[in-house]
Amino acid sequence: MARAQAKTNNNNKSSSKKPEAPPPAATPITNVAPMAQAAPAKKETPAVQTAAAPTRSRPTAEQISRRAYELFLARGGEHGHHDEDWIQAERELQLGR
């Protein structure tokens, strides 16, 4: 019986421990500078602005073909110069003539 009491006493000792304290409540952090907000991005402009060259779209094959045909007719419908007509028509349309 002495052994049974000893076990009981050991059990009592372990259960007689004080319960652990709960973790402290979260406290707000103070004395911290607020986070700086990013400034809106500035649009950089060059000191000297140059005039941009006008951008022209390339003429389509149909536009070149029509102008080349006009050149062909203006020459009196003479065959054998289709490459020259095409190049001239393309050059005229690119220059905006």
42 within 8 A of 33, measured Cβ to Cβ = no
Higher-pLDDT residue of 43 and 74 is: 74
- Mean pLDDT calculated for residue range 87-96: 94
Query: What whole-number distance in Å separates Cα of residue 3 and Cα of residue 9?
Result: 10
62 within 8 A of 52, measured Cβ to Cβ = no
Residue 44 binned pLDDT confidence (cut-offs 50, 70, 90): low
* pLDDT above 60 (res 97): yes
- Mean pLDDT calculated for residue range 48-55: 60
Model pLDDT, residue 70: 96
Residue 64 binned pLDDT confidence (cut-offs 50, 70, 90): very high
Model pLDDT, residue 15: 54
Task: Decide: pTM greater than 0.75.
Answer: no
